[in-house]
């Protein structure tokens, strides 16, 4: 039994203004990762923040069209008010460490994190484009029992679901 005893209205009032802001993925090398997210998936780099004393950099990417100008603080506040960003975290030196084998994607044992999802207007057209860039597919749109959605991998092996709103609702209806 839940220890939470607020009414739905109390919960809504207490959490007003909350926002799903980011999902963080650790990356080995920012060059191929930024290239993939910007040039294959079409995201824009909205913010880059270096932490020299702790030797890591954060990259925030998303599908915003207009990136404002202003002070560094104003731009950072804008970034952290955006919904559904991908945060790529690079711990310095991993890109040059031959013994570093990468991070766990969550899709091998022990399973944990699964994937992020990108909604596109046309899954088949998007996948044709991905194939042109030799993107690794986990599942192509016509594979398996769920037709019309795909899974690809980013340079670090994280899975990305490629879906359309229309296609996924058809899959849900078909598999009820």
- In 3D, which of 115, 118, 114, 116 has the Cα closest to residue 41? 118
170 annotated active-site: no
Catalytic residue, chosen from 6, 64, 161, 173, is 161
Separation CA 158–CA 161 (nearest Å): 10
- Lookup: tokens for 28: 């080995």
Separation CA 82–CA 74 (nearest Å): 13
Helices then strands, counting H and E runs in the chain, come out as: 5, 8
Separation CA 62–CA 57 (nearest Å): 17
**What is the DSSP pairing of strand 137-139 with strand 85-91?**
unpaired
Q: Which residues are catalytic?
A: 161
């Amino acid at each position: 039994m839940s220890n939470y005893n607020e009414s739905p209205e109390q919960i809504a009032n207490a959490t007003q203004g909350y926002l799903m802001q980011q999902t963080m993925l650790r990356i080995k090398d920012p060059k191929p990762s930024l290239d993939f997210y910007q040039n294959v998936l079409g995201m824009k780099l909205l913010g880059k923040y270096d932490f020299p004393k702790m030797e890591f950099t954060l990259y925030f990417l998303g599908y915003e069209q207009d990136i404002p100008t202003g002070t560094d603080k104003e731009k950072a506040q804008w970034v952290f008010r955006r919904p559904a960003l991908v945060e790529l975290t690079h711990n310095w030196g991993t890109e040059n460490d031959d013994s570093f084998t990468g991070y766990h994607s969550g899709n091998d044992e022990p399973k944990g994190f699964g994937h992020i999802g990108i909604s596109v207007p046309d899954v088949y057209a998007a996948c044709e484009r991905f194939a042109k860039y030799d993107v690794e597919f986990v599942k192509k749109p016509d594979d398996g029992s769920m037709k019309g959605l795909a899974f690809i991998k980013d340079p670090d092996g994280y899975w990305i679901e490629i879906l359309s709103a229309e296609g996924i609702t058809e899959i849900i209806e078909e598999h009820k």
